[in-house]
Amino acid sequence: MSLPISLDHVTHAYRTQAGPLPVLDDLTLDMPEGSFTAVVGPSGCGKSTLTRLVAGLMKPDQGVVKLGGKPVTGPRSTVGMAFQNPVLLEWRNILQNVMLPLEIVSTGMNKTQREDRARELLALVGLEGFEDKRPSELSGGMRQRASLCRSIVHRPEVLILDEPFGALDAFTREDLWQTMHELRRAERFTCVLITHDLRESVFLSDHTVVFSARPARAQRVVEIDMGENRTLDDLYAPRAVELLAILRKEIQIAQGREPAEAAL
């Protein structure tokens, strides 16, 4: 199961001591069922706000966020989330960490089924044999793999990833990109990925949304027409290079650097 996500004229501002700080400005976006959308944009442009709105952790000032055609009114168990910080619980072992959402969401699974489900996911991301380890005994990349397992263990219809690979070294990151593709093949979810890495967005997404500087609008949506089975080598193919150039240019426009350069 997966659900389409739509944002309809969403405007939001944070109330600060210096007055309202607008972060999203009349944002309209459609993410089809089962699609993978990457969101890129300048720092502090409101990307994380988007994830909190879709997760139902916040309500927008204006506009509507819908999952499967129904307005989001609060948190719901059909959403999975992973962050840059893997936030694993040190007093639980890896298996118990992955099973955490199953203790909250009623899935009708008994204890053995829940454990099997967690083990199956851990095996899928290459963490077989680490079930009984503590999070601190694992490397950063392995912790993030466990965090990904936890985010999808309850079979969410929507997966929200807020820069989950941002703090990893380049090689580990590329490994996890491939893991992400495997997870996507094995499970069904509509995915939103917040990232600062344009190569990541080209490797993983079906379409990449470039946000303007704050308050953010969807400045441009770029279709990533790279096919289903992408390899890391594909990132050096002419089409990928072309897409990266387009995205880089859009980011420069969003940062307000492009017009100045164009004038030279």
Least distance to other proteins from the beta carbon of 139, Å? 15
Cβ proximity of 53 and 61 under 8 Å: no
Least distance to other proteins from the beta carbon of 154, Å? 7
Of 70 and 239, nearer to other proteins (C-beta) is 70
By CB under 8 A, the count of residues binding other proteins is 26
Longest Cα–Cα distance in the chain = 66
Among 1, 21, 89, 186, binds other proteins (CB under 8 A): 89
Distance CA 42, CA 135 (A): 32
Distances (CA, A) of 248 to 40, 41, 65, 77, 142: 10, 10, 28, 36, 30
Give Cα 150 to chain centroid, integer Å.
Answer: 14
Of 137 and 261, nearer to other proteins (C-beta) is 137
Of 150 and 199, nearer to other proteins (C-beta) is 150
Residue 221 burial (CB count, 10 A): 13
Note whether 146 binds other proteins by CB under 8 A: no
Within 148-187, which residues bind other proteins (CB under 8 A)? Answer: 150, 154, 160
Within 27-86, which residues bind other proteins (CB under 8 A)? Answer: 55-57, 74-77, 79-81, 83, 85
Of 60 and 80, nearer to other proteins (C-beta) is 80
Distances (CA, A) of 55 to 78, 159, 192, 208: 9, 9, 11, 19
Least distance to other proteins from the beta carbon of 170, Å? 24
Of 147 and 208, nearer to other proteins (C-beta) is 147
Within 202-231, which residues bind other proteins (CB under 8 A)? Answer: none
Q: Is 158 exposed, middle or buried (0-12, 13-18, 19+ CB in 10 A)?
A: buried
Least distance to other proteins from the beta carbon of 91, Å? 4
Of 81 and 176, nearer to other proteins (C-beta) is 81
Among 104, 260, 262, 264, binds other proteins (CB under 8 A): 104
3-state SS assignment for residue 17: coil
Note whether 120 binds other proteins by CB under 8 A: no
Distance CA 99, CA 104 (A): 9
Distance CA 86, CA 14 (A): 26
Distance CA 258, CA 252 (A): 5
User: Footprint of other proteins on this chain (CB under 8 A)?
Assistant: 55-57, 74-77, 79-81, 83, 85, 87, 89-91, 100-101, 103-105, 134, 136, 150, 154, 160
